[in-house]
Amino acid sequence: MAVVETRRLTKIFRKADQGAAVNEVDLATRDGEFLVFLGPSGSGKSTLLRMIAGLEEPTRGDVLIGGRVVTGLPPRARGIAMVFQSYALYPHLSVEQNIGFPLKAHGVPRDRRRERVRWAAELLGIGHLLARKPRELSGGERQRVALARALVREPTVFLLDEPLSNLDAKLRASARTELIQFHARVGTTTIYVTHDQVEAMSMGDRIVVLDKGVVRQVGTPKEVYDEPADTFVATFLGSPP
């Protein structure tokens, strides 16, 4: 059974619009995979992810998580965790309190909270930073705090929307590697949104190529590069003719 499945998932923002932002998308994740949504700006990647998360209501179609239809359910009832491009840490709270915030909000007792926070922080290599405030961290460290905060409730699926785009090029390259190593350790099914072909090719177990709200191709990096389904995919990925 797929952790995340979409059935003819569609979003039309305005009736007057020419097309749908997301158009009849059928997808199913494989257990534990790192799935990438790749497409140019405006191709519907964020809208698709936000519908899976429950942050956007579909116009039509369904979202299933763990085989259960969750269309219409609020985000907190879906067992998902999402990290955005503009992740916000609470500036007045310590790293430990930031990571533990979702647990506190769910009434998890203090001792248990401390244990979970340490586990998540160790996994992301920030166990030594728990007493610091966000302003005392580098960009890459802040990013890891945001990931630890998303991880702390042990979500069944991770949704990441261009989480590295605020980092400079050098940091982004190392953060990619870290994210992949982290994924290999926790094995949580992950959907990762990017407009960057290099990022998609180097990170994805499989890539979903989107254009104007439509899935053009789904395949391994090698499949989509070597055997692009159409000229859009070939051009976008720079496949040899």
List residues binding Mg ion (CB under 5 A). 46
Q: Which is nearer to ligand ADP, 22 or 147 (CB)?
A: 22
3-state secondary structure of 160: strand
Nearer to ligand ADP, 108 or 201 (CB): 201
CA distance 210 to 195: 10
124, 142 contact by CB (below 8 A): no
Q: Which residue is nearest to Mg ion (CB)?
A: 46
Whole-number minimum distance, CB 219 to ligand ADP, in Å? 19
Task: Pick the closer one to ligand ADP by CB: 80 or 121.
Answer: 80
Binding-site partner at residue 27 among Mg ion, ligand ADP, none, CB < 5 to 8 Å by type: none
Distance between CA atoms of residues 54 and 86, nearest Å: 18
Residue of 6, 29, 43, 188 interacting with ligand ADP (CB under 6 A): 43
Residue by residue, DSSP assigns 177-224 as HHHHHHHHHH--EEEEEES-HHHHHHH-SEEEEEETTEEEEEE-HHHH
Q: Are 161 and 84 in contact (CB under 8 A)?
A: yes
Pick one of 6, 23, 47, 98: the residue that binds ligand ADP (CB under 6 A).
Answer: 47
Nearer Cβ to ligand ADP (25/152): 25
Please give the Cα distance from 74 to 124 (Å, whole number).
Answer: 28
Does residue 39 bind ligand ADP (CB under 6 A)? Answer: yes
User: 47 contacts which partner out of Mg ion, ligand ADP, none, CB within 5 to 8 A by kind?
Assistant: ligand ADP
Q: H or E element: which one contains 103?
A: helix 95-105
46 scored as a contact of ligand ADP (CB under 6 A): yes
Among 21, 146, 150, 151, binds ligand ADP (CB under 6 A): 21
Q: Tell me if 95 sits within 8 A of 118, measured CB to CB.
A: no
Rounded to a whole number of angstroms, the minimum distance from the CB of residue 79 to ligand ADP is 23
Distance of alpha carbon 219 from alpha carbon 227, whole angstroms: 9
Residue 160: CB minimum distance to Mg ion, A:
11
List of residues contacting ligand ADP (CB under 6 A): 13, 21, 39, 41-47
